[in-house]
Amino acid sequence: MLEQTLPGERSPAAGVYDVAVIGAGVVGCAIARLLSHHVLRCVLVEAGPDVGTGTSKANTAIWHTGFDAAPGTLEARLLRRSYPQMATYMAETGVAVERLGGLLLAWNDDQMQALPAIQARAQENGVTDVYPLPPPEICAREPHLQPGVLGGLCVPGESILCPFTLPLALATEAVVNGVTLLCNWPVQGIDRLPNADFRLRSGERTLQARYVVNAAGLYADSIEQMLGYRRFTVTPRRGELIIFDKAARRLVNHVLLPVPTAITKGVLISPTIYGNVLLGPTAEDIHDKQDRATTAAGLAAVWDKGRALLPALIEEEVTAVYAGLRAATEHKDYQILAHPDERYICVGGIRSTGVSASLGIADYVRDLLADARLTLPPKPDWQRVQMPYLGETGTRPYQSAQRIAANPDYGRMVCFCERVSLGELLDACHSPIPARTLDGLRRRTRALQGRCQGFNCQAALSALLARETGQTVAALLGLEAGCEQ
Ligand SMILES: Cc1cc2nc3c(=O)[nH]c(=O)nc-3n(C[C@H](O)[C@H](O)[C@H](O)COP(=O)(O)OP(=O)(O)OC[C@H]3O[C@@H](n4cnc5c(N)ncnc54)[C@H](O)[C@@H]3O)c2cc1C
């Protein structure tokens, strides 16, 4: 069990937490980090072996402005609240970002007719810099597009970010500032105690908290039911994606967005901050919350869309495919529901935009906790953290003669595809929230996610991780069984 406590922090059994946040996805991590700014005893409880292993690691990694959100919804408001905070936060902590801008493209008359309304909607949402682009300008900016685009909108604020570093940065700041992180701790039951506190149960283990925040993503409805509510049902909406090799990066300069429909933002083409190109996702409602498998039909559908938009992309090598599950509900908006008298906040239904809205959601939840009479004394000695930079536009350790001179391990490559050095891998194994699985090592360093998908380096990485964490290689590989890569 990964359990992080600060020196002087009591073990969970020894006392009552002020707040228990259930779920260490990007949303739960953002909430826990914000609460760590206050003199409180907080615990972040996660079913998986690490933070950020749910939907937060399998998405399209677009930093949305919220230009096309339904005006007046909580989602639209929190996206706007989040956007400037995200800009500051990611710059200060070293989360990789590329401010590419988005082009929303119309390929038929119906889509052309939708553009003015989308621009008006952006204005209403406070995204005031969206402007129309004529076809020659679009083609000049994106010379590899299929001929025939009729028009489009430029959305300068749409950008790309590192979806792996963001939750890790948030959780690391929470932990460094006193939040207890309990991984491998699936909440299986919740009791109300006579004094109105909550007792969270996981097997034989229990912990007690005065307030509960439910940020359990796909399982937010199960947590609701443990507390006697049935206000929404989460239906996983699967999105399948294809990642193209870095050679394809030259083909795309912006985030290429389709005109959205009622149920999905549609299939997009976007560079990633690792230098690849991403095509997808699909949007298919399924029943099984564990089913993150890709399908031949889903991949064929995105492939066809890709060919129709950017034919040259389809000639490029594919590095990987994956699927993520959106926490869709029967409601069209986020389900952030507060029960001040019950000291319970539900943060459910964060379906398509939760990465981008995470800091705004956290702010809002803190306000709701204050309304529920949680006292929030400021913590005077709060510490910021600096995360390893995983992008392509800044300087990585292998590119820094100064870092290599100071520590030659930063010059010893282990993953050649992604240029990940021994020094970075060791850092990841000994960081405040250390990597304990190969997937955890991947999300902290980029190792294993390159062109060879670990064919060359997985044995070395397994041996290194086993040595540094005191696990056996067999146990490590067993831990990874069934884990999405
Ligand atoms: C295909 C796809 C593309 C997307 N693209 C984008 C995008 O480009 N930009 C964007 O902003 N958003 C995007 N999203 C949405 C975004 O990924 C989600 O909104 C966000 O990750 C939700 O975060 P979360 O913390 O609510 O959920 P999760 O990341 O799923 O975290 C919930 C956590 O709760 C834990 N948990 C569940 N049950 C329990 C329990 N009983 N006890 C303890 N822990 C529990 C889980 O293990 C999990 O770690 C996309 C989503 C998908 C699927």
**Which of 60, 75, 168 has the most ligand 1 atoms within 8 A of CB, as the residue to mutate?**
60
Per CATH, the number for 397-480 is 1.10.10
To the nearest 10°, report the CA torsion of 213, 216, 219, 225. Answer: -10
How far from the centroid of its chain's Cα atoms is residue 208's Cα? 28
Nearest residue by C-alpha to atom 22 in ligand 1 = 354
Nearest residue by C-alpha to atom 18 in ligand 1 = 354
Q: What's the confidence (pLDDT) of residue 477?
A: 86
Write out the chain's pLDDT in tens, 485 residues.
344 433 333 344 457 999 999 999 999 999 999 999 999 999 999 999 999 999 999 999 999 999 999 999 999 999 999 999 999 999 999 999 999 999 999 999 999 999 999 999 999 999 999 999 999 999 999 999 999 999 999 999 999 999 999 999 999 999 999 999 999 999 999 999 999 999 999 999 999 999 999 999 999 999 999 999 999 999 999 999 999 999 999 999 999 999 987 666 789 999 999 999 999 999 999 999 999 999 999 999 999 999 999 999 999 999 999 999 999 999 999 999 998 889 999 999 999 999 999 999 999 999 999 999 999 999 999 999 999 999 999 999 999 999 999 999 999 999 999 999 999 999 999 999 999 999 999 999 999 999 999 999 999 999 999 999 999 998 898 754 444 43
Phi, psi of 280 (to 5 degrees): 150, -165
Per CATH, the number for 99-161+236-325 is 3.30.9.10
Secondary structure of 172-213 as H, E, C letters: HHHHHCCCEEECCCCCCEEEECCCCCEEEEECCEEEEEEEEE
Taking the centre of ligand 1 as the mean of its atom positions, its distance from the CA of residue 26, in whole angstroms, is: 7
Nearest residue by C-alpha to atom 15 in ligand 1 = 352
Q: What's the confidence (pLDDT) of residue 14?
A: 53
Q: The whole model's pTM is what?
A: 0.95
Q: Where are the domains of the chain?
A: 1-98+162-234+329-389, 99-161+236-325, 397-480
CA-wise closest residue to 59 among 170, 172, 162, 183: 162
**Which of 201, 355, 437 has the most ligand 1 atoms within 8 A of CB, as the residue to mutate?**
355
Taking the centre of ligand 1 as the mean of its atom positions, its distance from the CA of residue 326, in whole angstroms, is: 7
Nearest residue by C-alpha to atom 51 in ligand 1 = 59
User: Is the dihedral angle over the CA atoms 210, 213, 219, 223 positive or is it negative?
Assistant: positive
User: Is the dihedral angle over the CA atoms 443, 446, 452, 457 positive or is it negative?
Assistant: negative
Pairwise CA distance, residues 249 & 258, whole Å: 19
Q: What's the confidence (pLDDT) of residue 5?
A: 39
Q: Are 78 and 351 in contact (CB under 8 A)?
A: no
Pairwise CA distance, residues 352 & 263, whole Å: 10
Nearest residue by C-alpha to atom 2 in ligand 1 = 59
Phi, psi of 214 (to 5 degrees): -95, 105
With a Cβ cut-off of 6 Å, ligand 1 is lined by: 22-28, 45-48, 53-56, 59-62, 64, 186-187, 215-219, 223, 239, 281, 324-326, 350-356
For the chain, the farthest-separated pair of C-alpha atoms sits apart, in whole angstroms, at 69
Taking the centre of ligand 1 as the mean of its atom positions, its distance from the CA of residue 250, in whole angstroms, is: 30
Q: Which atom of ligand 1 is nearest to the CA of 237?
A: 53
Report CA-CA distances (Å) from 419 to 168, 302, 399.
21, 29, 10
Pairwise CA distance, residues 350 & 84, whole Å: 19
Taking the centre of ligand 1 as the mean of its atom positions, its distance from the CA of residue 348, in whole angstroms, is: 10
Query: Which residue in 64, 287, 331, 339 is the catalytic one?
Result: 64
Phi, psi of 337 (to 5 degrees): -120, 125
Q: 64 catalytic, yes or no?
A: yes
Q: What angle do CA 313, 318, 323 make, to 5 degrees?
A: 105
Nearest residue by C-alpha to atom 12 in ligand 1 = 353
Running DSSP on this structure, what letter comes out for residue 218? Answer: G
Q: What's the confidence (pLDDT) of residue 9?
A: 37
| The CATH classification of domain 1-98+162-234+329-389, taken from the options 3.40.50.150, 2.40.50.140, 3.50.50.60, 3.30.420.40 | 3.50.50.60
